[in-house]
A and B are shown apart, each in its own frame.
Chain A
């Protein structure tokens, strides 16, 4: 077991591997009643299939990762959630573009529940009957989003940004792909992606470290090495966006504008992608956050309200910046934001703004240590890039202002897409 200490924030975490294959990270949280455990595998909606035993690519229906997430809860025809509840745990899972994460929070029996979670992930009991039974439930889940203009606008923006990347597709798939799902496709994808070497387990809570290490090493039977393997994700070839601007109408009252900026993942030679994430985060925060001069001027012009935000997303196959705003003037705001970014590219940000954003980020970093679920999620995000979330302050320290301004300069006008949502009846 390897120990990492962060004395400045009274934080420690440990890492060890189970049978030399499955990586486990433990963050002790003395005094907390709840222990939060997550286990993530790198199978999301961008994974379109697998390589078979002969390394031949095989495509499967879209939404397979999410469908599989649903089916792994089936245990002898019943939902395994009840077993977790009996042992003081609430279990859940979610699928995003790149990963599927299984999780529970528990007030007891952490060892048994952790083993149960991992066994549930590695030992699927998928039946044809179970697959058919799940289809209408997932279609209702899809319908649940059907009336949400923000959800549709985000989906449309991604389509406008990317030309071929499977990020264009819905995480849940479509009604047609859900209805086309088969037991065989689910089992094959499970074999290719759900391997101990690909899994990261994160445990945050008031736990007995030694007992966890011993219990997982002795109590888990890990699956044998898979013959099927992950299929490479289709790469986005175009640096520029697909459609720079588009609008559509929805059953809503206040128009909205979303902006997406396609970001390079390796602008700076030798940098880890997570360092790029930090640099672009600082750059967009300084240029366009709610405490920026730019936002103040947008408010004064009446172009935005307090429902406004910017964010940067970095994953292993794509990276982009996002802006969301409600506005009474979609076109006016779009032009204003284009001008703001152009000015930021030309003038860069000040030393004062740079220091300010870093201080804010460190404050946010410290506060996350109290939020067990968010902490586990952040740790998982950084682990995708083989880095530790706990090292964020020293990573920020190593960044120089010139790198932020270089990052801003790399944002070309043709890498930016806008999507406007307008109330029905708008011309």
Chain B
């Protein structure tokens, strides 16, 4: 990867130079502690920043300006990385050479981003509108029962955990946020450690101007922020809601976190267990027993947890649970073929290679490599994957503990 890194105070600037894209990207990520009220205020503030400003005082004027810049996209949103809140401002635009104003286009884009950051328009009417949007967004999560079930599961699972707060904050805090809170959130964001990522063809104007114009005013630096917190096994929860299909979540705790040497072996284990449509869960729950259309597992290395998920008819929930447990026992006993292990590793290798094909993924790779001292180059990552063997899988499977099961559904079928 052709990566330029530059640090100044609390700002880390990275430019990834590549000519394979027609678009370019600037991303600003401000890192802060994740608390419910702060996350809610920052989500509202980011929405306001990206909708209007002093130069473009209405949504329409601002959006039309971006559209005039060949459909440039500007997003301000909250993201969660481990226990950190990330206030992310993301600008995507076409390479100036494909526009009819190649000499001035880049400056116009950077000017616009600077205006977004430095000339906010915080007023009561805009806050009211943004609150309405955020409240509606929370409300719409209930309409989508996959999202709702997942939210309920996360809330119950992480109830005593530092990772429990959602990126967008919580619905209960929305009404209480004042204009002063928004201004505080804005000013504190400028003091937060900042990671700037450019992805593009190495345009000098872009690199020089972004480096010059965007800096954190803070004095601290961004430190690695992994939390290792053990989960206590707890009572299963079954919540009742009339659904056409029950949603089942089963949680396994491991001892393997993001920076641990076994993290790639754990990723292979998860891929083999339920990570793809070639996995053991897919083969058993869907293909052999025909209980589900969707069944999968995911591994979250920041929490060490693996979650198995399935959508099954109510009468099949107990059978699905027992099949998921059976598949874990097979992993522990090494009851999987070399071929299946090879396929899991190949699937993961594919994902790794493909992840170098998107601008966002390149930007994330660059800063997490800097922050957590994990490999950046594709070949180095693939070498770690290649080292994983069957004994690693058996050994790690034996460290896994069931800690929580959640089911939503369980009434008569629609």
* A residues adjacent to B (C-beta < 8 A): 8-10, 29-34, 79, 81-82, 85-86, 88-90, 105-107, 133-138, 140-141, 143-144, 146-150, 250-254, 290-293, 295-296, 299, 302, 305-307, 326, 356, 359-364, 366-367, 369-370, 372
Contact = CB atoms under 8 A, between A and B. Distances in A.
Nearest to A302: B132
Given A85-B278, A86-B346, A146-B244, A370 B140 contact: no
B278 A82 contact: yes
B79 to A, nearest CB: 18
A147 B136 contact: no
A108 to B, nearest CB: 8
B237 to A, nearest CB: 19
A260 B342 CA distance: 49
Contacts of A137: 286, 290, 292-293
The 9 closest A-B pairs by CB, nearest first: A146-B244, A363-B71, A363-B70, A31-B20, A252-B143, A141-B293, A253-B139, A143-B245, A136-B290
A392 B236 CA distance: 55
A85 B342 CA distance: 9
Interface string B74-93: 00000000000000000010
B18 A31 contact: yes
Given A32-B20, A34-B354, A307-B136, A79 B277 contact: yes
Interface string B46-60: 000000000000111
B242 interface: yes
Contacts of A138: 293
Contacts of A9: 22, 98
Question: Which of A150, A251, A292 is the most central at the interface, judged by chain B CB atoms within 10 Å of its CB?
Answer: A251
B278 A81 contact: yes
Contacts of A89: 350
A251 B293 contact: no
B290 A133 contact: yes
B291 interface: yes
Question: Which of A32, A292, A295 is the most central at the interface, judged by chain B CB atoms within 10 Å of its CB?
Answer: A32
Contacts of B94: 363, 366-367
Contacts of A364: 71
Nearest to B94: A366
Question: Which of A149, A362, A370 is the most central at the interface, judged by chain B CB atoms within 10 Å of its CB?
Answer: A370
A107 B60 contact: no
B20 A253 contact: no
A33 B350 CA distance: 9
Contact of A252 (B142, B244, B349): B142
Contact of B136 (A107, A305, A370): A305
28 contacts: A32-B20, A33-B356, A33-B357, A33-B378, A34-B354, A79-B278, A85-B346, A86-B342, A90-B347, A133-B290, A140-B290, A140-B313, A143-B245, A146-B245, A147-B243, A147-B244, A251-B142, A251-B143, A252-B143, A292-B60, A296-B60, A307-B136, A359-B67, A362-B70, A367-B22, A367-B71, A367-B92, A372-B357
Nearest to A355: B68
A291 B64 contact: yes
A177 to B, nearest CB: 17
A281 B246 CA distance: 40
Given A85-B347, A146-B414, A140 B292 contact: yes
B242 to A, nearest CB: 7
B133 interface: yes
Given A305-B132, A367-B92, A107 B353 contact: yes
Contacts of B291: 136, 140
Given A8-B98, A140-B294, A362-B71, 16 more contacts: A32-B20, A79-B277, A88-B349, A90-B347, A90-B350, A107-B350, A146-B245, A148-B145, A251-B242, A252-B140, A291-B64, A305-B136, A307-B140, A364-B71, A366-B94, A370-B359
A370 B20 CA distance: 8
Nearest to A84: B278
A330 B8 CA distance: 53
Contact of A254 (B136, B278, B312): B136
Contacts of B349: 88, 107
Contact of A369 (B22, B133, B283, B357): B22
B372 interface: no
Contacts of A366: 22-23, 70, 94, 98
Contacts of A31: 18-20
Contacts of A147: 145, 243-245, 414
Interface in B271-328: 276-278, 283, 286-287, 290-294, 311-313
B343 interface: yes
A30 B22 CA distance: 12
Nearest to B311: A144
Interface string B241-262: 1111100000000000000000
A360 B277 contact: no
B11 to A, nearest CB: 27
A141 B124 CA distance: 46
B232 interface: no
B80 to A, nearest CB: 21
A150 B67 contact: no
B293 A253 contact: no
Nearest to A368: B22
Given A9-B98, A137-B286, A141-B293, A291 B63 contact: yes
Contacts of A136: 290-291
A250 B143 CA distance: 8
A186 B72 CA distance: 46
Contacts of B339: 86
B357 A293 contact: no
Contact of B64 (A90, A254, A356, A362): A356
A254 B346 contact: no
Nearest to A364: B71
A281 B59 CA distance: 22
Given A137-B286, A296-B60, A356 B68 contact: yes
Question: Which of A89, A136, A364 is the most central at the interface, judged by chain B CB atoms within 10 Å of its CB?
Answer: A136
B225 interface: no
Nearest to A105: B354
B67 A356 contact: yes
Contacts of B245: 140, 143-144, 146-147
A306 B133 contact: yes
B226 to A, nearest CB: 29
A254 B311 contact: no
A183 B22 CA distance: 47
B69 interface: yes
B108 interface: no
B380 interface: no
Question: Which of B59, B64, B290, B343 is the most central at the interface, judged by chain A CB atoms within 10 Å of its CB?
Answer: B290
B391 interface: no
B208 interface: no
